[in-house]
């Protein structure tokens, strides 16, 4: 049975108080932390690295979902697993043998996930899903690289298409999520929500997460029933 999971994306946290932000997210009811890694090449921005993952691992007890927006995930995936990543999400658009690296992530003891950009067709990930190489599909609902962007609605039909074929697979969304867009995503079959700006700018993260969990659970209900 799939679970609804809310994962704060610490890219939106106060960088000067990152450790406290991780603990705050955990105390507020986060199911896991989402950590964005950018190399200034795959995306036009540079963000967090393995030392931040290590810090998070030492600060909280919830799982860490590490999103690699880097050109060569094959060179770095293991470093992030050693640092404490539980899930490693790589991009189908990366310049590497994606199938091999998903396999290696699993072999190294982490949970492999495949990420797909808004303009990439879902046919690109069909083989990977058929071979069960990924335990999660992360749908980018913004162009990767920056927090605080607007949710791209055209991604919703792609989520729906994959949900219809894979009723038991974790489907996550990342970018531009608030209560409304998270509920929209759940209605199209998403069960995991990576949320940056909305949660870290909220005056009460606990109630924001609780509300989002409650409403996405209701919106996701038709899928959880059909997957029984
Ligand atoms: C974007 C990142 C997202 C980002 C989401 O490239 O992958 O995880 O932090 O931030 P918001 O929720 O602010 O769009
Ligand atoms: Zn992300």
CATH number at residue 58: 3.20.20.70
The residues that bridge with 8 in the sheet, in sequence order, are 195
Helix (H, G, I), strand (E, B) or coil at 113: strand
Specify the residue with its C-alpha closest to ligand 1, atom 12: 196
Q: H or E stretch including 67?
A: strand 64-69
Active-site residue, selected from the candidate residues 14, 36, 170, 204: 36
* pLDDT of amino acid 41: 97
* pLDDT of amino acid 228: 42
* pLDDT of amino acid 227: 46
* pLDDT of amino acid 206: 98
* pLDDT of amino acid 224: 87
pTM beyond 0.85: the answer is yes
Closest listed ligand to the CA of 87: 2
Distances in Å between the alpha carbon of 35 and those of 57, 68, 189? 11, 9, 23
Verify whether ligand 1 is closer than 6 Å to residue 178 (CB atom): no
Decide: 138 and 92 in contact? Cβ < 8 Å.
Answer: no
Structural domain including 109 reads 5-226
* pLDDT of amino acid 58: 98
Active-site residue, selected from the candidate residues 14, 86, 170, 174: 174
pLDDT tens, the chain, 228 aa long: 899 999 999 999 999 999 999 999 999 999 999 999 999 999 999 999 999 999 999 999 999 999 999 999 999 999 999 999 999 999 999 989 999 999 999 999 999 999 999 999 999 999 999 999 999 999 999 999 999 999 999 999 999 999 999 999 999 999 999 999 999 999 999 999 999 999 999 999 999 999 999 999 999 999 986 544
Buried b (16+ CB within 10 A) or exposed e, 2-41: bebbbbbbbbbbeeeebeebbebbbebbbbbbbbbbbbee
The reply to whether 174 belongs to the active site is yes
What are the structure tokens assigned to 205, written together?
A: 């993260």
Specify the residue with its C-alpha closest to ligand 1, atom 9: 147
CA distance 37 to 53: 10
Q: What are the helix (H) ranges across 42-155?
A: 50-59, 73-83, 98-107, 126-130
N-to-C CA span, the chain: 7
* pLDDT of amino acid 226: 58
Count of structural domains within the chain: 1
């Amino acid at each position: 049975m799939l679970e609804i999971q809310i994962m704060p994306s610490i890219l939106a946290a106060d960088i000067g108080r990152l450790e406290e932000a991780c603990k705050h997210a955990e105390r507020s009811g986060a199911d896991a932390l989402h950590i964005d890694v950018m190399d200034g090449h795959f995306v036009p921005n540079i963000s967090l690295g393995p030392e931040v993952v290590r810090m998070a691992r030492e600060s909280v007890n919830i799982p860490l979902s590490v999103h690699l927006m880097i050109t060569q995930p094959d060179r770095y995936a293991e470093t992030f697993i050693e640092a404490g990543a539980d899930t490693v999400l790589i991009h189908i658009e990366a310049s590497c043998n994606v199938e091999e690296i998903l396999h290696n992530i699993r072999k190294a003891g982490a949970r492999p996930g495949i990420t797909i950009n808004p303009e990439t067709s879902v046919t690109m990930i069909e083989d990977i899903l058929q071979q069960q190489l990924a335990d999660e599909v992360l749908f980018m609902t913004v162009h990767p690289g920056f927090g605080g962007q607007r949710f791209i609605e055209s991604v919703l039909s792609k989520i729906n298409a994959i949900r219809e074929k894979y009723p038991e697979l974790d489907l996550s969304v990342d970018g531009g999520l608030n209560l409304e867009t998270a509920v929209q995503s759940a209605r199209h079959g998403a069960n995991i929500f990576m949320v940056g700006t909305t949660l870290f700018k909220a005056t009460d993260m606990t109630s924001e997460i609780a509300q989002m969990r409650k409403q996405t659970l209701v919106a996701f209900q038709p899928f959880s029933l059909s997957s029984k």
